[in-house]
Amino acid sequence: MNILLLEDDLILSAELCKFLESNNFTCDKIYDGETFIRQIKNNTYDLYLLDINVPKINGLDVCQTIRSFDKNTPIIIISAYGDLSDKKDAFTRLADDYLVKPFQFEELLLRVNSLLRRKTPSETTDQDIIRIDDLIVNKTEQKVYRAGNEISLTLKEFQLLVYLAEAQGRTVSKQQITEHVWEHNFNTNTNTVEVYINFLRKKIDKDFKVKLIHTRSGFGYYLSPL
């Protein structure tokens, strides 16, 4: 079982990971919320441990970001804040458990094991989720997120985005797009493909510095952060 820890106290972070690893877990440690979010884009974990008061992006906002695209992976908040209002805030953001510092490591282990036993297998597999930079495409739920924000797409826009994303940076032609997305051969001299590409660009790229949808003149389109 893989655990990702968000904790900016270097000593506590090292001790927690050492303890978890001695109990047959693997543990990666991150010291700020911004790096943590980057880490989870391209890696899969079985459980998250989040301190609240960490640099750049606090643990509660990290929790909320995780839940924007991952409803199942258990999250335990570990924090020095013990007021009821702090706990309420964490559970409102869909954390699964809350442990107040200082705590005994054995108690943490009990809570971790309890959550992992109760964890129900998600119907969504890694193959159903495509991640490209800060873009997440969930094929099972037909949902799209960029930088943690959900983006509303029509069915055809979603199908076009999935086809571009599954090409993994390869250029696909207008003919290939019409065959796979529209499932019939209409006149590729029409501007239907261009219109839908523009729809996607307005929703996926317009408000972001890094553009993902690109045109290769004379060849077609590709989706890549480069």
Residues β-bridged to residue 135:
132, 146
pLDDT of residue 54: 94
With a cut of 60, say whether residue 119 has pLDDT above it.
yes
> Range with the lowest mean pLDDT among 127-131, 143-147, 198-202?
127-131
- The whole model's pTM is what? 0.57
DSSP 127: G
Q: Residue 107: is it exposed, middle or buried by C-beta count within 10 angstroms (0-12/13-18/19+)?
A: exposed
Name the pLDDT band for 175 (thresholds 50, 70, 90).
confident
With a cut of 80, say whether residue 177 has pLDDT above it.
yes
The rounded mean pLDDT for the chain is 88
With a cut of 90, say whether residue 116 has pLDDT above it.
no
pLDDT of residue 53: 92
With a cut of 90, say whether residue 146 has pLDDT above it.
no
- Residue type present at position 144: V
pLDDT of residue 30: 94
> Do residues 76 and 95 touch, judged by C-beta distance below 8 A?
yes
| Cα–Cα distance, 158 to 72 (Å, whole number) | 23
Higher pLDDT: 43 or 99? It is 99
